[in-house]
Amino acid sequence: MGSEYIVGIMRHTIITALWMGAPLLIVATAVSLLINIAQVLTSLQEMTVSTVPRLFAVAAAALLLMPWMAHRLSVFTVEVLADFRPFLR
């Protein structure tokens, strides 16, 4: 198994991890921005006001995106494990 093959697998793994995490991070960032703007306008600086809605938004996004994420992860697994010959050497 050459170093090019290992680098290719690692690159594919990192790209898949980024695709999995990016939508949830974008949702968390957008909700945080909206909450922070509301907190600045109302002068309400309570930590639970900023944390709880962000957690609910990320949980809702995770539930909505679960089929897409599961499909993407299964495609990644099949692509990585499709050819076992390099691992046997």
- pLDDT one digit per residue (tens) for the chain, 89 residues: 678 888 988 999 999 999 999 999 999 999 999 999 988 888 888 877 888 999 999 999 999 999 999 999 999 999 888 877 766 76
Contact indicator for 20, 62 with CB cutoff of 8 Å:
no
pLDDT tens digits along 24-36: 999 999 999 999 9
**Distance between CA 84 and CA 1 in Å, rounded?**
11
Full-model pTM? 0.78
